[in-house]
Amino acid sequence: MTSETTRCPVVRRNIETFHQSSTIGGEHKMEAFERPVLWVQESSTQVVYLHGGKVLKVGEEHNDYYGYLTSFRNRDDDHDKTSSASHYDITQDSTLEMQLITRIVQLPMIETNDDRAYNARAAEQGKLTRQFSRIPEEWRKETPCEDSPTGKYYPRLEPVLVVESVTWTSKRSAAENEAFALAFIEEWSV
């Protein structure tokens, strides 16, 4: 299992029924079992360059390493995610546009015994970081499927897209971008 640390919030918890492939006595079966799932909400922000409304280049991607919704906000002048706009002389009137496109997703995770021990130590030390584990590849959800001989399909439990939005664009003024960012944070804070 792959463990990950995060400063992002757990927004919901539920019990999911999973299925795992097993072979008993030469017979293949999908064994059902239940596990608690934590849904961690996080954002990521992609830098995109457009010309005439068409994507010209997809740039770097930023994550919430410094906390929830930090993927599109600048920590300081040395980490300005919009610095490329001034570097390339992209202005509101340019035909070239730069955007920061932010996606908020909910990631299904589990909390193993090792994760719980890590989280207890982190809490004692006053750390904001928590550790959770990715759902193992072999844990699958049973889904009806008319095209399958068994009438069932077993996909993975996937992340859920909550919202995708242009959180900054060179076509808006600095004041408009700041107002939009503050409204976005207010709407999506948890």
Residue pLDDT, tens place only, 20-33: 999 888 888 899 99
As a whole number of angstroms, the distance between CA 122 and CA 7 comes to 11
Q: Which domain holds residue 124?
A: 3-188
pTM: 0.89
CA angle 182, 51, 46 (to 5 degrees): 40
Structure tokens that stand for 25 in this block:
């006595």
Q: Are residues 60 and 44 in contact, defined by beta-carbon separation less than 8 angstroms?
A: no
Total number of domains constituting the chain: 1
* Largest CA-CA distance found in the chain, in angstroms, rounded: 71
Q: Are residues 132 and 40 in contact, defined by beta-carbon separation less than 8 angstroms?
A: yes
Instruction: Name the CA radius of gyration of the chain, rounded.
Output: 21
If DSSP states are collapsed to H, E and C, what string results for the chain? CCEEEECCCEEEEEEEEEEEEEEECCEEEEEEEEEEEEEEEEEEEEEEEEECCEEEEEEEEECCCCCCCCCCCCCCHHHCCCHHHHHCCCCCCCCEEEEEEEEEEEEEEECCHHHHHHHHHHHHCCCCCEEEEECCCCCECCEECCCCCCCEECCCCCCEEEEEEEEEECCCCHHHHHHHHHHHHHHHCC
- The label of the residue with tokens 């928590």 reads 130
Q: What is the mean pLDDT of the chain?
A: 93
CA angle 32, 37, 41 (to 5 degrees): 145
Torsions phi, psi for 173 (to 5 deg) = -75, 165
pLDDT value at position 81?
Answer: 81
pLDDT value at position 88?
Answer: 86
pLDDT value at position 77?
Answer: 58
Which residues, given as ranges, of the chain have pLDDT below 50? none
